[in-house]
Copies of this chain bind each other. A is one copy, B any other.
Amino acid sequence: MSQQRKAPTMADVARMAGVSPMTVSRAFKSEASVKEGTRRRIRDAAEQLGYVLDSTAAGLSSRRTGFVAVTIPSINNANFAETVKGLTEGLKPAGLQILLGYTDYDTAEEERLVEQFLRRRPEAVVVTGGVHTERCRKLLSNAGVPVIETWDRPSDPLDAVVGFSNAEAAKLMVEHFVGEGYRKIAFIGGDTARDRRGLDRRHGFVEALRRRGLDDRRVLAHGVPPITMREGARAIGELLRLWPDTEAVMCVSDLSAFGALSHCQRAGLAVPRDIALAGFGAYDIAEHANPAITTIDVGARAIGLNAAETIVRLLSRRDEGHDAKRIAIEPRLIARASSLRGG
């Protein structure tokens, strides 16, 4: 019901229980010393009045808001979801709640979101990636709380970093392809700089090809992040028109890899016999597709857990050195039928 009857306050509860507001305040913290009987009376009164603690007032007074702001690019992504779960779990023991926001892969939106969050005085901020607007960087630097950049290893970090090199991860795939005997190798990704992590993968991939003296022009950019099945399907169609002799293709994510796989099969191409395919991210679909799709597991959950641990550490002993402010996660290639010669 949406009646605007004014919410009861501690004073109301105190009056009803016959104690001072201060005692009510204590009765709601498990550590504080309140006689058991008093505590029960207070709890009962609160229950009866439908009292709910006002944590904005509490935060104002105690200067502890008890939450960590977390921004992710998308709320429809298994990997970011895992990172958030890791964060949630890792922060729970410290009594920290997370408040979640999504940026739609847009740094301007990220800036707005970060500012909104900062106004609520989070005790730490977790952002995805290492690319932000200039103003956003400034806001975060000035916030006076720990800032964790995740999913990347920026060269000019704001504060702490928990991530991996997307470029290095993509190189794993080139090695895998080459190991399987493929030489005409292509990459399919998004066509804007919005998804910086995807762009880094492409750069790493191309560089690895170049180093091995392989043709590095087979790179196609299609669609705005999030890159989905549709973009993968369209891109591989175009790729095969431009370079029909391509032997192996890495897609920027498993979703676009599946779109590509599906397109190939509809076009009568067998995977991996006619063309090898691989994705990125170790999504469920890569495991369940026919054939199963070779991919890279980035340890999304570990990112969240490590970020949480870093926050708790930075929050407890603020003054110690800048040690362990840069945690590396190791991506891992999962070879599957879609790219195996014998597949």
Residue numbers of A with Cβ under 8 A of B are 1-7, 50, 52-60, 65, 72, 74-78, 80-82, 84, 97, 99-102, 115-116, 118-121, 124, 138-139, 141-147, 158-160, 228-230, 233, 255, 258-259, 262, 265-266, 284-285, 287-290, 314, 318
14 examples of A-B residue contacts, CB within 8 angstroms:
A1-B147, A1-B159, A2-B145, A3-B144, A52-B115, A52-B139, A53-B119, A54-B121, A56-B56, A76-B76, A76-B78, A99-B101, A229-B285, A262-B288
Contact (Cβ within 8 A) B144 A54: no
| Chain B residues with CB under 8 A of A72 | 75
Q: Which residue of B lies closest to A311 (CB)?
A: B2
Complex CA gap A99/B65 in Å reads: 15
Nearest-Cβ distance from residue A144 to partner chain B, whole angstroms: 6
Return the chain B residue nearest A124 by Cβ: B2
Told that A75-B80, A230-B288 touch, could you supply 19 new A-B pairs with CB distance under 8 A? A2-B159, A3-B144, A4-B318, A52-B143, A54-B60, A54-B119, A55-B116, A56-B65, A56-B120, A58-B119, A72-B75, A74-B81, A75-B81, A76-B77, A99-B99, A99-B101, A228-B284, A229-B288, A259-B288
A318 proximity list for chain B (CB < 8 A): 2-4
Name the distance in Å between A229's Cβ and chain B's nearest Cβ.
4
Residues of chain B lying within 8 A (CB to CB) of residue A74: 81
CA distance A266 to B285 in the complex (A): 15
Q: Is the beta-carbon distance between A144 and B258 smaller than 8 angstroms?
A: no
Are the C-beta atoms of A284 and B255 separated by less than 8 Å? yes
Q: Name the B residues within 8 Å of A1 (CB-CB).
A: 141, 147, 158-159
Q: Nearest residue in B to A113 (C-beta to C-beta)?
A: B97
CA–CA, A80 to B57, complex, Å?
A: 32
Residues in chain B near residue A3, CB distance under 8 A: 144, 318
Q: How far is the CA of A75 from the CA of B141 in the complex (A)?
A: 28
Q: Which of B120, B144, B159, B314 contacts A5 (CB 8 A)?
A: B144
Minimum Cβ distance to chain B for residue A251 (Å): 13
Q: Do B284 and A229 touch across chains, with their CB atoms under 8 A apart?
A: yes
Bound together, the chains give a CA A78 to CA B1 distance in angstroms of 30
A72 to B266, CA, bound (A): 36
A130 CB → nearest B CB, Å: 15
Please, how many angstroms separate the alpha-carbon atoms of A258 and B286 in the complex?
12
* Top 9 A-B residue pairs of the complex, sorted by shortest distance between their CB atoms: A50-B142, A76-B81, A55-B119, A2-B146, A229-B288, A56-B56, A100-B100, A75-B81, A262-B288
Most chain B beta carbons < 10 A, residue from A101, A143, A230, A288: A288
Is the pair A52, B119 in contact by a Cβ cutoff of 8 Å?
yes
Report the nearest B residue to A258, measured CB to CB: B288
Return A337 CB to nearest CB of chain B, in Å.
Answer: 11
Complex CA gap A258/B80 in Å reads: 22
> How many angstroms between the C-alpha atoms of A43 and B230 in the bound complex?
46
Residues of B close to A138: CB separation below 8 A: 50
Residues of B contacting A55 with CB < 8 Å? 116, 119-120
- Which of chain B's residues has its CB closest to A78's CB? B76
Contact of A2 among B54, B144, B230 (CB under 8 A): B144
B144–A7 touching, CB < 8 Å: yes
